[in-house]
Amino acid sequence: MTKKATQKTPSSMESGSARAGARVGTYAPREHTMALGDLKLTLGTGIDIVDAAQSTGLTSADAAKRLADYGPNVLAPPRQRPWYVQLALNFTDKFMMLLTAAGILCHVAFALDTAQRENLYFGLALYVIVILTCLITFYQERSSASTLGAIKKLMPTSCNVVRDRMEQRVDPKDVVVGDILHLYLGDRVPADLRIIHTKDLKLENSSLTGESKPVAAVVNAASDNPLEARNIAFSSSLVMQGSGFGVVIRTANDTMIGTIATLAAGSGVVEESLLQKEINRFVNIIAMFALASASTLFVIGMARGVSFLTCFVNGFIIVLVANIPEGLAATVTSCLAVVAKRMSAKNVLVKRIDIIESLGACRVIASDKTGTLTQNIMTVENLFYGGQIFNVHAGGTSVILDSILERATATMAKQGS
């Protein structure tokens, strides 16, 4: 290996920008369009241009240096809140705060009139409800498998790498850019590879595209689009047939699966679910109604000459607490936890139990599993209208849509007349 090969390669120097691209969900490698000679110089590795199956790969020293410079081939875990912060945030929910305030008012009433011991017990019961509800929610959030955790399970346990002119088994986390991997039937690809030699090699990319049909790998790109080039073996793909050699062009979060994991881990600000919005709205209405009714009864009692203490305890605090639905929080959380458990049995990951209600409110889920997940593009293939199925590609999207629009306009005009 020459000194030039051990220096930072152009691909390696791109690593920082590639990682930045992964953070915003871009994936645009160029290695799939390069000739093998250019790829050899770019990656600084030993590719045999005449017979790629005889490639020598990196030296152990060069691989160790690259591993030290750019880190192991593992997906970076998402930034997570400490468990105690996550638990404390459950207590800041509006409804939990309302129940806590009701419990405090019960203890205030007991302090003013110790003969009414039911106020003490009722306040303690409210605290128990708040604590149990928050613990159930916290347990569900902690026990639900995260999306990144599910993706990590797709990583292989070992792989075949050509180093020092010899094929050897190494841990996938030690794979670096420029390594040459030998793929066999049943192997799971540990990093994004540019295929340099294939012998009836077919790959299954269902973890990325959802398509279970194996795709035949080629050496020369079938398309400039890396997702359709067929000469890139993506990380987590499964070898379904044949064998082949590939050179590593992306590792860790720079891979396609790493880009998806990055998007899943940091998808932005978490918005309130429909259930949270409705509960917050309900809490505001109940709080205003309870405060208004309690204040009204307190004023009426004082006007009738009832003592201040009696009016405040029985006419204000008791009425205020009585208007709060103490069992609602426990009921909602218990129902959602049961549903989450049932969904888990069906291999559905639930990160937040409050979004289950939103999923239940869905009437139609439109998904084009390949284009939507990998390219953020959803295309119309077929249209159903008037009891007939129209193929978009056969007649052209605009022609079909114009035809449907004309017939719909004519129908509405006839109904209007």
Catalytic residues: 368
Rg, C-alpha atoms of the chain: 31
Residue 217 phi/psi, 5-degree rounding, is -85, 145
User: Distance between CA atoms of 314 and 297, rounded to whole angstroms?
Assistant: 9
User: Distance between CA atoms of 247 and 376, rounded to whole angstroms?
Assistant: 27
Element (H, E) at 238: strand 238-250
CA distances, 347 to each of 147, 245, 339 (Å):
12, 34, 13
SS percent in the chain: helix, strand, coil, step 5: 55, 15, 35
359 CB-near residues (< 8 Å, 6+ apart): none
Residue 79 phi/psi, 5-degree rounding, is -70, 125
Structural tokens at position 285:
């209405």
- List the beta bridge partners of residue 198: 244
User: Distance between CA atoms of 127 and 125, rounded to whole angstroms?
Assistant: 5
161 CB-near residues (< 8 Å, 6+ apart): 57, 167, 168, 169, 170, 175, 179, 180, 181, 182
User: Distance between CA atoms of 121 and 126, rounded to whole angstroms?
Assistant: 9
DSSP state of 311: I
Class of residue 108 by CB neighbours under 10 A (exposed 0-12, middle 13-18, buried 19+): middle
AA identity, residue 303: A
Q: Is the dihedral of CA 16, 22, 23, 26 positive or negative?
A: positive
User: Distance between CA atoms of 25 and 232, rounded to whole angstroms?
Assistant: 18
DSSP state of 388: E
* Cβ pair 121, 325 in contact under 8 A: no
* Cβ pair 184, 160 in contact under 8 A: yes
